[in-house]
Amino acid sequence: MKIGWSALLVLLTVSCMEKKEYYTLDDFDKVDKIDAHIHVFTDRNSFVEQAKKAKFRLLNIMVDLSKGEELIRKQYDYSFAQKKQEPEVFEVATSFSIADWDNPDFTKNTISWLDKSFAEGAIAVKVWKNIGMVFRDKDNRLIMVDHPKLDTIFDYLASKKIPLIGHLGEPKNCWLPLDEMTTNNDRNYFSEHPQYHMYRHPELPTYEEQIAARDRMLEKHPDLVFMGAHMGSLEWSVDELAKRLDKFPNMSIDLAARMGQVFYQTIENREKVRAFFIKYQDRILYATDLADDGKDDAKEMQQEMRKMWLTDWRFFVTDEVMASDLVNEEFRGLKLPKEVIDKIYLQNAQKWLRMFPQ
């Protein structure tokens, strides 16, 4: 079949327009990107070497694992050592221990610690799921994130325009039996960490109570810049996420360790998921939760990093049929426009977290 010059010209024009509007898989190593949620607590530089090859800059996030101040300080030393070695690649989100909660000077001491972190260059503060799921005060009462004692700290952050990153609660799957969970990564995690599998701990707050406490905290602090880590623990429903983003204008979300839930919803209704990413393109930050504690083989870790980054990139920039071990069915990529990709992978981290200011 012969194609006329006019038809050929139309095809070439459409092809060129598409190249301008969309990225391809081949663009992965050419585009500046930020992974806004990683954990590197080691002296070695294997992680940053791989990141630089893929044109990624990084937010290294400290975590209060309910193991006392010593661990926080150890993470602090590793994080700022990495930042000192690679200041153009690493930013740091600090955290604080709540182990000293019952001390009358807890709030004052915490703010003093945070001031030290900010003076060293930390750009955000992380609170973790031990608030609401693990830590109890001297009277054996579980501490939730809307506790009045935390208000002074959150008001302080709001006054300084320091973002709060919140991993509060867990995926909704956490409250289901393993065989009813929607994604394989959740099934694997909670089988390996039964202490956090809330289905096995009915004495602890429900999923709805965790989310309600987080929402009450945001209602009390409307000026607080808040990034909901792990899709704000609303990973199971883009509709529920949309409600919170509409209600809380200073809230954004990261995608760390929740791509399985994005894939799952894409299987069910790709167009709804795609419409969500386009509508809320200014509120979503690319992130993975990748980590390096120096114990795993460096080469294998780097291969896994690249594999995850490439899989996610393929999902967002192409409409190819894909498979993932996170879910059990195939799904099709979202093929988001370049301007949306640039926001999710770069500009939103610069805007919401003030990473690497121009």
What are residue 90's phi and psi, to 5 degrees?
-105, 135
Note whether 255 and 281 are within 8 A (CB). no
- C-alpha 330/C-alpha 81 separation (Å) is 42
Digit-coded pLDDT (tens) for 208-238: 999 999 999 999 999 999 999 999 999 999 9
Q: Is the dihedral of CA 232, 285, 126, 299 positive or negative?
A: positive
Query: What DSSP string describes 201-226?
Result: -TTSPPHHHHHHHHHHHHHH-TT--E
Do the strands 284-285 and 251-254 form a parallel or antiparallel pair, or are they unpaired? parallel
- Predicted TM-score (pTM) of this structure: 0.94
- Out of 3.20.20.140, 3.40.50.1820, 1.10.150.80, 3.20.80.10, select the CATH number for domain 25-352: 3.20.20.140
Digit-coded pLDDT (tens) for 127-168: 999 999 999 999 999 999 999 999 999 999 999 999 999 999
Query: Which of 43, 117, 127, 50 shows the shortest CA–CA distance to 85?
Result: 43
- C-alpha 285/C-alpha 290 separation (Å) is 15
Digit-coded pLDDT (tens) for 179-210: 999 999 999 999 999 999 999 999 999 999 99
Note whether 162 and 119 are within 8 A (CB). no
Place of tokens 């610069």: 350
Structure confidence at residue 15 (pLDDT): 54
- C-alpha 157/C-alpha 151 separation (Å) is 10
